Amino acid sequence: MKKILTILLAALFSITVSAGGGENPPADSPVAIMMKVVKDVTLKKAEADWSSVKIGAALSTNDEIKTGSQSLALIKFTDNSILRVRENSTLKIYADKANKEISKNTYVDKGKVGFEVKRQGNEEFKFTTPTMVASIRGTDGVIDVDGDGNTTFGLSSGSANIEATQGNKGQGTVTSGFFVTVGNDGNINIQPVSNNPNVQNLLNNNNNNTPQTKKLIIKTNIGDIIIEYVGDY
């Protein structure tokens, strides 16, 4: 029953009609959906308290997600990008909508987050932490932020531009098979993933959890309706 429910939710969220344009969505319209919840996962809406969240919850800009011990949250954006929020993590979603495009910025305050970001035209997808900003497009990887804000950012595919926000405010580019560490001193330290077994394990776990996505195309008199549905994660 849970698998069927997940498939239906993913299908409803991902329906697009290829014919016709339409206006820009309202600024507070959902930009993501909660696809999986394991154990202790809570959501904080603007001007509201933390509360338990369930599969199918719609997420909008400024929403915060927090996971407890041995917990997991799986988030899917409207462009089919995916975040896997691991245990003891906290993040906040930002989305700026303009000209029918959505530029996304996920602020990871602490914890570990795996991601699969889809390449979508001119739309931006950024990750921000207390010590850096990563600008990416069509990239798979992981982020690990400790209690002091020190950030480890590794990629299994694609590339990302890194900017430190503290200290020396260093800059650099990380590519597939490499990771970067950024601390409060603002220095950029890029190394091969093979130098750090912990980063390698995080990337392996992220890749092993890649969801199986399928498409169903329904022909109508106004165009094709494309439904993407997802099985177990």
- b/e map 9-45, b = 16+ CB within 10 Å: bbeebbeeeeeeeeeeeeeeebbbbbbbbeebbbbbe
Closest by alpha carbon to 156, among 181, 134, 125, 177?
177
What's residue 206's pLDDT? 83
CA distances (Å), origin 16, targets 8, 76, 118, 136, 228: 15, 15, 16, 24, 9
| Cα–Cα dist 55/117, whole Å | 21
Which pLDDT band holds residue 22 (cuts at 50, 70, 90)?
Answer: very low
Ordered structural domains, the chain, with CATH: 28-213 (2.60.120.1440)
- b/e map 109-136, b = 16+ CB within 10 Å: bbbbbbbbbeebeebebbbbbbbbbbbb
Output DSSP code: residue 21.
-
Q: What is the pLDDT of residues 143-161, one digit of tens each?
A: 999 999 999 999 999 999 9
Q: What is the pLDDT of residues 107-145, one digit of tens each?
A: 999 999 999 998 766 777 899 999 999 998 788 999 999
| Cα–Cα dist 114/123, whole Å | 20
Are the beta carbons of 113 and 153 closer than 8 angstroms?
Answer: no
**Global pTM exceeds 0.85:** no
> Could you please report the per-residue DSSP string of 95-156?
EEEETTEEEEEEEEEEEEEEEEPPP-TT--EEEE-SSEEEEESS-EEEEEE-TT--EEEEEE
| Cα–Cα dist 31/97, whole Å | 10
